[in-house]
Amino acid sequence: MEKVKETTQKLFCGEMIVNKRDLWFLGGLMFLAGVIYGLFTAPLTRGVSIGCCNGNNENHYHDADFEEEEA
């Protein structure tokens, strides 16, 4: 834990040099973590309702017309 604090302190003070490979890896890792976090917290994971849901369940078919189409 002490090593992590020391490394973080050096990084934010500007005393540490990070090579390009590690920088791209860290950036990609943070991006993918953000995508995964976004997918889990998105409203689409809770379901989507299309319509007004006012309770009108009329199917616009009369029973006689529906029976004639089946025959």
Q: What is the pLDDT of residues 26-61, one digit of tens each?
A: 899 999 999 999 888 877 666 666 666 666 666 655
pLDDT digits (tens, 9 = 90+) for 21-34: 988 998 999 999 99
pTM for the whole structure: 0.45
Q: Is residue 62 part of a domain?
A: no
- Of the candidates 33, 30, 5, 8, the one whose C-alpha atom is nearest the C-alpha of residue 18 is 8
46's tokens? 């809770």
Q: Is residue 27 part of a domain?
A: yes
Look at residue 20 and tell me whether its pLDDT is greater than 80. Answer: yes
What is the pLDDT confidence band of residue 19, given thresholds at 50, 70 and 90?
A: confident
Q: Is residue 61 part of a domain?
A: no
Q: Structural domain of residue 38, as residue ranges?
A: 1-44
Under DSSP, is residue 54 helix (H, G, I), strand (E, B) or coil? Answer: coil
Per-residue model confidence (pLDDT) at position 70: 54
Domain tally, the chain: 1
